[in-house]
Each structure stands twice: as C-alpha cells, then as structure tokens.
Amino acid sequence: MFIETNEATIQAMKAVIESQPEDINSVRIFIAGNGCSGPTFGLTLDKEGVADVVDTSQDIQFVMAKDIHEQVGDMIVEIVKGGYLVKPKVAMVSACNSCSAGCG
C-alpha cells in the first residue's frame, strides 16, 4: 500500500495523535459509506490489525484492511479546509453515469 500525502497533513495528524490519551500511532483509512459516485472514505485512529496493509510516512502509520485495498488501491490523504481529503489515487468507476437521472 502507498499513501500520497504532504508535510502539512503529516504535521496535522501528528498533533491529533499526540493529543490522544492512548498510545496509538496508526491512522486507519476505511470506507465510510457508498453513494452514486462510489465509496466515501474516512480516517480514524486505530491499531494495526492482522488483516491490514501498512504504509508509514514520517512516523505516521497508515493502515487499511487488505480486502479494501485490493478494491481501491493506493490512496491520497491531504488536509484541506474543513477536514481531510481521502480518495483513491486512481479514480474508481461509478455505477451511476449521471446524478440527474437519479440513483433509484
């Protein structure tokens, strides 16, 4: 697994991790939901599991379930105004061609 990120994102994540009472140094990427344009992704602090793939960037360990990684591939994680952008490096094909048609 490879996570594309930048220094600002790493520094923001380090601050969040350091503010936690538990000794957790992993950021888990997970599927937070599915919609017309495909899955949306979230981040949470977690520990590495036996069924995870891992990438480490400047002491931040990113983890993702192996089966999810096999579906979506490598990821981009960047801090943006109001939160984090979490998306696959290679855009996923959507099952919906146009939201104007409705996703009934």
Task: For the chain, list the domains and their CATH numbers.
Answer: 3-101 (2.60.300.12)
pTM: 0.85
Quickly list DSSP for the chain: --EE--HHHHHHHHHHHHTSSS---EEEEEEEEEETTEEEEEEEEE---TTEEEEEETTEEEEEEHHHHHHH-SEEEEEETTEEEEEESSPPPPS-S-GGG---
pLDDT digits (tens), the chain, 104 positions = 899 999 999 999 999 999 988 888 799 999 999 888 889 999 999 999 999 999 998 889 999 999 999 999 999 999 999 899 999 999 876 555 555 555 55
